[in-house]
């Protein structure tokens, strides 16, 4: 399974999780089958609220799930329509996100629980 986590840095397991999916500088993608990391720069980081295009940002990475602290409704809907599950986490690092995901300790994010603005945290 490939898990995408919005991050502030490119340090793999030690990367700090970004506060909001769409405005994250990077996306760290963890592949649990190979225990490897891939980092993608977010070229759309400074978008207008509601204009986040997560499917195009993640390209052909074939992500199965996204784990984030916050995400807008359109991004949640777009990911879910693409068959990508979205989970919410308060973890500070990618390592903790992975541990929580493995323990099934994360809650799936519904559109009703999505952010209404970039200061949603």
CA distances from 37 to 48, 63, 74, 108 (A): 29, 12, 27, 22
Pair of tokens at residue 117: 């603005």
b/e map 54-80, b = 16+ CB within 10 Å: beebbeeeebebbbbbbbbebbbebbb
The model's pTM: 0.84
Domain residue ranges of the chain, discontinuous segments joined by +? 2-113
> What is the per-residue pLDDT across 4-60, written as a single tens digit (0 to 9) for each?
999 999 999 999 999 888 888 999 999 999 999 999 988 765 444 444 555 666 767
Domain 2-113, architecture per CATH: 2-Layer Sandwich (3.30)
Residue (of 88, 90, 5, 2) closest to 40 by Cα position: 5
Other beta carbons within 10 angstroms of residue 106's beta carbon come to 19
Tell me, what's the pLDDT at 75?
A: 83
The per-residue pLDDT for range 84-118, each reduced to its tens digit, is: 999 999 999 999 999 999 999 999 987 665 665 44
């Amino acid at each position: 399974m490939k898990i995408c986590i919005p991050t502030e840095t490119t340090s793999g397991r030690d990367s700090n999780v970004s506060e909001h999916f769409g405005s994250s500088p990077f996306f760290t993608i963890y592949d649990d089958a190979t225990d490897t990391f891939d980092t993608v720069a977010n070229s759309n980081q400074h978008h207008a609220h509601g204009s986040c295009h997560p499917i195009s940002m993640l390209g052909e990475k074939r992500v199965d799930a996204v784990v984030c602290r916050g995400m807008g409704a359109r991004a949640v809907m777009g990911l879910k329509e693409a068959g990508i599950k979205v989970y919410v986490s308060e973890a500070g690092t990618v390592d903790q996100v992975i541990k929580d995901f493995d323990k099934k300790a994360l809650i799936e994010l519904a559109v009703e629980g999505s952010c209404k603005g970039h200061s949603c945290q």
